[in-house]
Amino acid sequence: MTKNNNTSTPVDSNRLIGIVEGFVQSPTVIIFAGIHGNEKAGVKAANRVIHKIREDCVPFEGNLYIILGNINALEKGIRYETSDLNRIWNEENIDAIMDGSIILDAEAKEQIEIFGYIKKILNNNKGPFYFLDLHTTSSATIPFITISDSLNNRKFSSKFSIPIVLGIEEYLDGPLLTYINEFGHVALGFEGGEHHDTESIIKCEAFIWLSLVYSKCIKKKNIPDFSKFKNELSERYFKNVFFEIVYKYTIKKTENFKMHKGFKNFEQIFKHQSLAQSNGTEITANESGRIFMPLYQNLGDDGYFILNKISMFWLKASLVARKVKINHFLRLIPGVKIDPIHRHGLIVNPKIAKYMAKDIFHLFGYRKQVFKNGKLYYTKRDRRVTPL
């Protein structure tokens, strides 16, 4: 194997919190912190980890790169300046930025630099690559993981004893990790707690250390506090529980939305329960489930989500269905065909889709649903690694 420095390398860029390089042909972990400028717990946790690696000379076998997100917003203490940096990652937007066909706002400038670092890291290392994005929420919460529903994401996230939420890419446009997933890499979002809770820093730090062990960048025996970090991320009631997003309340631009106080992530709610107010009118739950990421901050248009627990039977069934590639039979159904531009996609006649439950597409790994030109487009999440 080609060897790198095997040390924590000083950096001369404001964008990089730290670099630790072991072997080129070894696992590489890329961590993003501060993608939202009002979420500083991940930044503080990342600095703690880098400091400890340097001070204790922790033996490192893989590679670690920690990238700072929205520097401008972090300095100003705001979520974002012009546009949400975690909602602009898609092929069309990046192509427009790269060819100079759009005027760059504050977040687009940040995006260009982050994108450049990602490409450089992928070009200079062999992988496998693990992308991790550290966040916090505006409501009280236990730590949890969000993933696009690919089997490699499921496998890695299952190593953590905290709730795992699938399908967020169906309800959000342009998250960074959804874009990364398009190229076949493992990509996990971690939510460590409420924005201003000091415990969130501890949870984020624990997640980083566990990720470095589970990705085989560091041996467990070389982290004296490994058991402590593992206990920090052990939710007994929700241990290895998978949830699926079934509903999102989107706030309109002219809407005066106010979430009722006191809701916590994963709290049980019931159909017709009052959750918020919109222009003075009560908003009630359209179904029972668990409340997810209720909005208690000024910026953002995601009012709240509703989750349902996924059965172990469904998880195992989808695993088998994907491994034996039963999804190919979907193409034999009249009104369903392969997307000629995106080979991981299906184009579905809406009339046919009415008679096919969304769960069927989910079972075979097709999660993203977009309505365009009178057709429904579904995107398969499992795919081989391809160049960025």
pLDDT single digits (tens) 200-213: 999 999 999 999 99
Percent share of the chain, pLDDT over 70: 97
Phi-psi region of 174 (alpha: psi -120 to 50; beta: other; left: phi over 0): left
Residue 6, pLDDT > 80, answer no
φ, ψ (nearest 5 deg) of residue 71: -60, -45
Q: How far is CA 195 from the centre of its chain?
A: 17
Query: Confidence band (pLDDT; 50, 70, 90) for 34?
Result: very high
List, by residue range, all CATH 2.40.50 domains of the chain: 242-309
Of 342 and 119, the one with more pLDDT? 119
pLDDT single digits (tens) 352-385: 777 777 788 889 888 877 888 888 888 888 888 8
Query: Which residues are CB-contacts of 234 (< 8 A; sequence separation ≥ 6)?
Result: 161, 162
Strands, sheet with 345-348, edge to edge from the N-terminal-most edge strand = 336-338, 345-348, 375-380, 366-372
List, by residue range, all CATH 3.40.630.10 domains of the chain: 3-232
Matching CATH number, 242-309, of 2.40.50, 2.30.30, 2.60.40, 3.90.79: 2.40.50
DSSP 122: H
Residue 317, pLDDT > 60, answer yes
Strands, sheet with 274-278, edge to edge from the N-terminal-most edge strand = 257-259, 274-278, 281-284
Cis bond upstream, residue 128 (ω within 30): yes
| Predicted local confidence at residue 97, as pLDDT | 85
Query: Which residues are CB-contacts of 227 (< 8 A; sequence separation ≥ 6)?
Result: none
Query: Confidence band (pLDDT; 50, 70, 90) for 142?
Result: very high
Q: Which of 130, 127, 111, 10 is nearest to 68 (CA)?
A: 111
Tokens 């589970």 correspond to: 214
Of 6 and 303, the one with more pLDDT? 303
Q: What separation, in Å, do the N-terminal and C-terminal C-alpha atoms of the chain show?
A: 24
Q: What is the CA radius of gyration of the chain?
A: 21
Q: What is the mean pLDDT of the chain?
A: 91
**CA 191/CA 136 separation, integer angstroms:** 5
pLDDT single digits (tens) 170-197: 898 899 999 999 999 999 999 999 999 9
| Predicted local confidence at residue 3, as pLDDT | 44
Query: Confidence band (pLDDT; 50, 70, 90) for 5?
Result: very low
Query: Confidence band (pLDDT; 50, 70, 90) for 32?
Result: very high
| Predicted local confidence at residue 10, as pLDDT | 55
pLDDT single digits (tens) 148-175: 999 999 999 999 999 999 988 889 889 9
| Helix-strand-coil split of the chain, %, nearest 5 | 30, 30, 40
Residue 351, pLDDT > 90, answer no
pLDDT single digits (tens) 212-245: 999 999 999 999 899 999 999 987 778 779 999 9
Mean pLDDT (whole number) for 99-108: 88
Q: H/E element holding 71?
A: helix 71-76
Q: Which of 134, 124, 113 is nearest to 46 (CA)?
A: 134
pLDDT single digits (tens) 262-281: 999 999 999 999 999 999 99
Of 335 and 74, the one with more pLDDT? 74
Q: DSSP assignment of 288-345, as one string?
A: -EEEES---SSS-SEEEEEEEEPPHHHHHHHHHHHHTTGGGGGGGSTTEEE-SS-TTE
| Tokens read off for 9 | 């390398």
Mean pLDDT (whole number) for 48-63: 92
Mean pLDDT (whole number) for 83-112: 91
Q: H/E element holding 166?
A: strand 164-166
Residue 223 contacts residue 205 (beta carbons within 8 Å):
no
Mean pLDDT (whole number) for 30-50: 97
| Predicted local confidence at residue 12, as pLDDT | 59
Q: Which of 249, 308, 307, 306 is nearest to 283 (CA)?
A: 249
Query: Confidence band (pLDDT; 50, 70, 90) for 2?
Result: very low
Q: Which CATH class is domain 3-232?
A: alpha beta
